């Protein structure tokens, strides 16, 4: 007779938690998952999916302008209706919530509604009911952080941005990560007068420096007021809107202030400390290479571990956990050469090392870089330029970094990520015939490295 109610009890039904639950159940485990908000977690509800829908909406304005400027289309009077986009997005998210419910049920996973807390290494409590499990998995994700300053309660985060009652005329976006950049471009594309502030000298810290510089130039050229080494010191409510006081002493009156200055691991008040689970200073759950905490029966995956905070990484970690626990196949998540995209306008795609990282790791590297005006823009007066960059380890000839800023960067990078993961060399790239005319062919036609 089983000693516990379940083989695995999962706290959090986001991307990682649902994937780990389903795959574990499919391998014969008795699984339950608890969730106190919404199925699908951040990605489905207030992250990747609704954000990408907003990105599509924001891009139509440029498409219509290009069509009339250079391609012979007569575009009549146009207008944008925020409630239509917002409500259609919400309807799609609700549909996805239902699909996640079906996926769990079809896999035989028990869905427990409510907030779960850990009582001891094998027991969780949900709304006064206790459940025991051989293993407990924490997959509670992350949550937006707004720093402390006078009036910070007047700011919203990306969570609230998806449900605004009305679209602001003037918006202030604070932050320099991908979420801040994406929302600045989304709001601008929807017709909002946007100012973006970042406290550092250049946004998108951690990305390749050429990518960061190039994107900042492109964003400014589109009309976003992008200011570096500037921050907010206070917010004050006005009769209409909000007044922001900045570090340079100036003030700015806007209709909406959105802070995207970081997310913290959602680990508080889960009973982790009482169970003896070690946390990092930022609240992240410390795990080993197999996602196991210092308490042998408690595991953690996804953003709550603050490793690589991307949905596909959480999915991968969930699969590895199921294999490790229930398939007699210990798998350590592979966090090398993870591709990523920033859905800015223009978007960014990247995989592998930045130039700075490569110079630190290898004795000698070659860098190939190209900047050009895409064919589409040659019939318009659009000044947008695409950037492509390859980084090669001279000793092995392997392409160790690939970066792009330009249309469809995310789609293009996904394909090249396979090559990078397989260890493709610059000779392999050179031997590959390009698809003409495309922007992507530039990656296989660059022959001359830039001066080191």
Rounded to the nearest angstrom, the gap between the alpha carbon of residue 100 and the centroid of all alpha carbons in its chain is: 20
Cα distance between residue 449 and residue 433, in whole Å: 19
Cα distance between residue 223 and residue 98, in whole Å: 40
- Helices in 205-348 by DSSP H: which ranges? 209-221, 311-326
Cα distance between residue 176 and residue 170, in whole Å: 19
Assess whether 59 carries a catalytic annotation: no
Q: Model's pTM, two decimal places?
A: 0.96
Cα distance between residue 402 and residue 208, in whole Å: 10
- 3 state DSSP class of 54: helix
What are the pLDDT digits (tens) for 224-276?
999 999 999 999 999 999 999 999 999 999 999 999 999 999 999 999 999 99
pLDDT band at 75 (very low <50, low <70, confident <90, very high): confident
What domains, with CATH codes, occur in the chain? 6-47+84-143+264-326 (3.50.50.60), 152-261 (3.50.50.60), 340-444 (3.30.390.30)
- Asked if 426 and 396 count as a contact pair (C-beta separation under 8 A), the reply is no
Report the 10 Å Cβ neighbour count for 61: 16
Mean pLDDT on 360-368: 98
Beta strands in 169-292 (DSSP E): 170-174, 193-198, 225-228, 232-237, 242-246, 251-254, 256-259, 263-265
Q: How high is the pLDDT of residue 1?
A: 40
pLDDT band at 366 (very low <50, low <70, confident <90, very high): very high
pLDDT band at 374 (very low <50, low <70, confident <90, very high): very high
Q: How high is the pLDDT of residue 77?
A: 87
Cα distance between residue 193 and residue 72, in whole Å: 29
What are the pLDDT digits (tens) for 290-331?
999 999 999 999 999 999 999 999 999 999 999 999 999 999
Q: How high is the pLDDT of residue 2?
A: 63
Closest CA to 412 of 395, 435, 382, 384: 435
- 41: enclosing H helix or E strand: helix 41-46
Q: Which of 188, 335, 377, 436 is catalytic?
A: 436
What are the pLDDT digits (tens) for 27-41?
999 999 999 999 999
Mean pLDDT on 397-421: 98
Buried b (16+ CB within 10 A) or exposed e, 238-273: eeebbbbbbeeeeebebbbbbbbbbbbbbbeebbbe
């Amino acid at each position: 007779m089983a000693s516990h109610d379940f083989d695995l009890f999962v706290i959090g039904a986001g991307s990682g938690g649902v994937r780990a639950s389903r795959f574990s159940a499919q391998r014969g485990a008795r699984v339950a998952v608890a969730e106190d908000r919404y199925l699908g977690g951040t990605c489905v509800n207030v992250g990747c999916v609704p954000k990408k829908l907003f990105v599509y909406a924001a891009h139509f304005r440029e498409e219509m302008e290009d069509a009339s400027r250079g391609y012979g289309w007569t575009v009549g009077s146009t207008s944008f209706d925020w409630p239509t986009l917002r409500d259609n997005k919400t309807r799609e998210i609700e549909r996805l919530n239902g699909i996640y419910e079906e996926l769990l049920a079809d896999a035989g996973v028990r869905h427990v509604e409510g907030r779960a807390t850990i009582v001891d290494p094998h027991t969780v409590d949900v709304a006064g009911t206790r459940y025991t499990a051989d293993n407990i998995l924490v997959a509670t994700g992350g949550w937006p952080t707004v720093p402390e300053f006078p009036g910070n309660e007047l700011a919203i985060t990306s969570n609230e941005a998806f449900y605004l009652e009305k679209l602001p005329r003037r918006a202030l976006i604070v932050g320099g990560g991908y979420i801040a950049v994406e929302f600045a471009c989304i709001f601008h594309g929807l017709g909002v007068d946007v100012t973006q502030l970042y406290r550092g000298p250049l946004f998108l810290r951690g990305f390749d420096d050429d990518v960061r510089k190039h994107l900042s130039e492109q964003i400014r050229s589109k009309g976003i007021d992008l200011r570096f080494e500037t921050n907010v010191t206070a917010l004050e409510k006005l009769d209409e809107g909000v007044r922001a006081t900045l570090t340079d002493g100036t003030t700015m009156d806007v209709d909406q202030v959105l802070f995207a200055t970081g997310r913290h691991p959602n680990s508080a008040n889960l009973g982790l400390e009482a169970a003896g689970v070690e946390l990092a200073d930022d609240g992240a759950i410390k795990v080993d290479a197999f996602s196991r905490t210092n308490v042998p029966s408690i595991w953690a995956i996804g953003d709550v571990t603050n490793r690589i905070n991307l949905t596909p990484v959480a999915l991968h970690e969930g699969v590895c956990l199921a294999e490790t626990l229930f398939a007699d196949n210990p798998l350590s998540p592979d966090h090398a050469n993870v591709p990523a995209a920033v859905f800015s306008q223009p978007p960014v795609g990247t995989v592998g090392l930045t130039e700075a990282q490569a110079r630190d790791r290898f004795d000698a590297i070659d860098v190939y870089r190209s900047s050009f005006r895409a064919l589409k823009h040659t019939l318009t007066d659009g000044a947008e330029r695409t950037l492509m960059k390859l980084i090669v380890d001279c000793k092995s000839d392997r392409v160790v970094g690939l970066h792009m800023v330009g249309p469809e960067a995310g789609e293009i990078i996904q394909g090249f990520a396979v090559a990078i993961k397989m260890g493709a060399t610059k000779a392999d790239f050179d031997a590959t015939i390009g698809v003409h005319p495309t922007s992507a062919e530039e990656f296989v036609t660059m022959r001359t490295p830039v001066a080191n």
